[in-house]
Structure 1
Amino acid sequence: MISELKKSEFFKCEGLLNEQGHLEPKAIVKGINPGRIFVDDIDSPTSGMIWLGNNDGFFFIANERNEGFNAEINHFINTIISPEAKKVGLTWFEGIGNHSRWDETIQKLFKYRNLESWNQRVYSLEKKDYKGNLDLAVEEYNIVRITETLFNNSKNSINNIDFLQSKILEFWTTPERFFHDGIGYCAVYKNKIVSICISGFAVCNVHCIDIETLEEHQGKKLAQKVALTFVKHCYDNNLVPYWDCMESNKTSIAVAEKIGLKNAFNYKGYTFKFE
């Protein structure tokens, strides 16, 4: 029977994760970022599914050939996950295997669901590849570090502070947790935050980059500028930037490669519509 672990029990899954794999499941298991974990056995789990707290997907972990877990997962998704997902506006299930052996299992388990797939790339930085001398000056925009003072906006100096606040709380349980474990930079234009680059997830010294630029300010190299500033901070403080993007997102890939990040590994994602 598939059951949900309490947060205090997440440690039971630490030995189930692929150490060479994705950052997001590690951050949730360690209790750094919010999420939920469902396993085959509460006392001694051998297979599981992690629901990212930002509602950006589900990771399958550990034994991909667990017959008991696999036999129940479709019913569990239909009766438990789907109703709760729809309450928060999710209409599509996005599943990822924490290691590549899950690919075949996911394809078999969900073959009747009009399953679709896509390719993802993960980029990281080796110090020898760092391109800190890039000239990415952007006139009329100020690149500033995201601080508690900026977040609280006590002087009302930022007109759209909700853009920053909602972005951080999309990934982190509290602002305090973000400022303790994460880092971030943003571009400011006429008292308005127009581009944000933050740690979406973080484990030890590895920081998963999440970046967003308001549509009306796109095409001005702001994403490159805030990302480069973020990466420079990582470089200067012995931190490791981790950039995860769709293979079809050529703009995101171009930014990653422009600032010196290298393709570390690739993986597949799978999606189907909730019934």
Structure 2
Amino acid sequence: MIYELNKSHFYKVSHLLTGDLVNIEIKGVVQGYQPGWVFVEHIDHPKTAMIWSKAIDGFYFIGDENNTDFNDYINQFISLDIAPRAKDLGLISFEFSGTSLSWDKTLESVFQNRELHRSKQFTYKYKNIINASIAEIELQNGFEMMEVNVFLLEKKLSNLDFVTSMILDWWDSLDDFFVSGVGFCILYKDQIVSCCISSCVTDDAMGSHTVTLNDYRNHGLAKKLIHQFLTYCRDHGFEPNWDCMEENLGSRLLAESCGYTKDSEYILYHFKLY
């Protein structure tokens, strides 16, 4: 059988957060920062878990990949329990990854009767951020940088929903973000033209998500915001993380130009739910 843990009991899978491919999206859910759900084969002493990250609409498998008490039931559980919930959220695919090469072999076997599609994800980290010397980037005249906080939301700006919708894509509420996250944006006149927020947060790491309006790209705005984010991480003891698809060359080059180095890669699978 597969059971869903109450959020107050997510700590019961903390001992499964081991291995190089257990990323901050997984830890962010388990540690209670990011919205999501946890499913296990045993309520009190789980050996295996499936983590559903609401923010990225994705699933991760952690723990013992040879646990038949979990593996023998997960297909049925996805069809009967996950698929209806996913449909209510507008999802048509089950997107997932393992946390080791052994998990990949298990998942390909468990889902061998599904039509699996594969792609590759790259993860980057900013090594030794505590000693990093982060370059200052000057903004062009007319541009102003501000922190994303309650005071920003009180300003008379034409597109505050640009920032609030970004936050709510990753967080359960604005209040949760203001307590545990950080963000910076660039204003031009009365409009927010570029924004960077912490997307995933753990006890000791942060990921970021940056968006720039089309008309203001190629002005170095994203890089300026990322440098500000990196400075925050350095000053507050967080290791910066970055995750992107292998084929997203622009994202990879931006990460590397800001000082991130490739840390790992993993296979991302998906199949249709209905």
Task: Give the alignment's TM-score, normalised by structure 1.
Answer: 0.91
How many Å apart are 1:77 and its aligned residue?
Answer: 0.9
Q: Is the 8 A contact 1:138 1:221 kept in 2?
A: no
Indicate whether 1:255 and 2:254 are aligned.
Answer: yes
Question: Relative to structure 1, is the Cα distance of residues 254 and 140 closer, same or farther in structure 2, using a 3 angstrom cutoff?
Answer: farther
Compared with structure 1, are the counterparts of its residues 252 and 131 closer, same or farther at alpha carbon in structure 2 (3 Å cutoff)? Answer: farther
Q: Find the residue that maps to 1:101 and give its secondary structure.
A: helix
Q: CA separation in 1, counterparts of 2:202 and 2:19?
A: 12
Change in 2 beyond 3 A, CA 1:215/1:262:
same
CA contact (8 A) 2:19 2:100 kept: no
Q: Deviation per CA, 1:32-58, whole angstroms, max 9, x where unpaired?
A: 211101111112111111110214200
* 5-14 or 119-128, larger mean C-alpha shift: 119-128
Q: Which amino acid aligns with 2:143?
A: Y
Partner of 1:10: 10
Distance change (3 Å), C-alpha of 1:93 and 1:219: farther
User: How many angstroms does 1:257 deviate by?
Assistant: 0.5
Equivalence map 1:94-109=2 (5 Å): 94-109=95-110
Identity of aligned residues (%): 36
Q: How does 1:138-217 map to 2 (within 5 A)?
A: 138-150=140-152, 153-155=153-155, 157-217=156-216
Maintained 8 Å contact 2:5/2:43 = yes
- The number of residues matched between the two structures is 272
Deviation string, structure 1 residues 114-163 (Cα, Å, up to 9, x no partner): 2111111111112478462264644543222111211xx234x1111112
How far, CA to CA, are the matches of 2:176 and 2:253 in structure 1? Answer: 31
Q: 1:72 to 1:215 in 2, by over 3 A?
A: farther
SS at match of 2:177: helix
Task: Please report how far the alpha carbon of residue 253 of structure 1 lies from its aligned counterpart in structure 2 after TM superposition.
Answer: 0.6
TM-superposed deviation, 1:19: 4.9
TM superposition outliers: structure 1 runs of 4+ over 6 Å: none
Question: Relative to 1, partners in 2 of residues 1:189 and 1:69: Cα closer, same or farther, differing over 3 Å?
Answer: same
Taking a change above 3 Å as real, the CA distance of residues 68 and 239 of structure 1, as seen in their structure-2 partners, is closer
1-10 or 120-129, larger mean C-alpha shift: 120-129
User: Would the aligned equivalents of 2:34 and 2:55 in 1 still touch at CA under 8 Å?
Assistant: no
- Bigger mean CA offset, 232-241 vs 83-92: 232-241
Structure 1 residue ranges without an equivalent (≥5): none
For the aligned residues, what is the CA RMSD?
A: 1.9
**Kindly tell me: are residues 101 and 138 of structure 1, through their superposed partners in 2, closer, same or farther at Cα, counting changes over 3 Å?**
farther
Cα deviation per residue 1:51-96 (whole Å; 9 max; x = unaligned)? 1021420011101111121111111111111111111111111101
User: Residue deviations 1:159-181, cap 9 Å, x none?
Assistant: 11112112112222232221221
User: Are the equivalent residues in 1 in contact too, given 2:56–2:170 (CA < 8 A)?
Assistant: no
Change (3 A) 1:105 1:140: farther
Alignment partner of 1:270 is 2:269: yes
How big is each residue's C-alpha offset from its partner over 1:211-266, in whole Å with a ceiling of 9 and x where there is no partner? 22233433333222211221122223332111111111111111110011111222
Q: Distance in 1 between matches of 2:54 and 2:169?
A: 8
Stretches of structure 2 that go unaligned for 5 or more consecutive residues are none
Change (3 A) 1:182 1:116: same
SS in 2 for 1:232: helix
Aligned ranges for residues 67-146 of structure 1 at < 5 Å? 67-127=68-128, 130=132, 132-133=134-135, 135=137, 137-146=139-148
Q: Is the 8 A contact 2:19 2:99 kept in 1?
A: no
Matches within 5 A, 1:44-59: 44-59=45-60
Give the alignment's TM-score, normalised by structure 2. Answer: 0.92
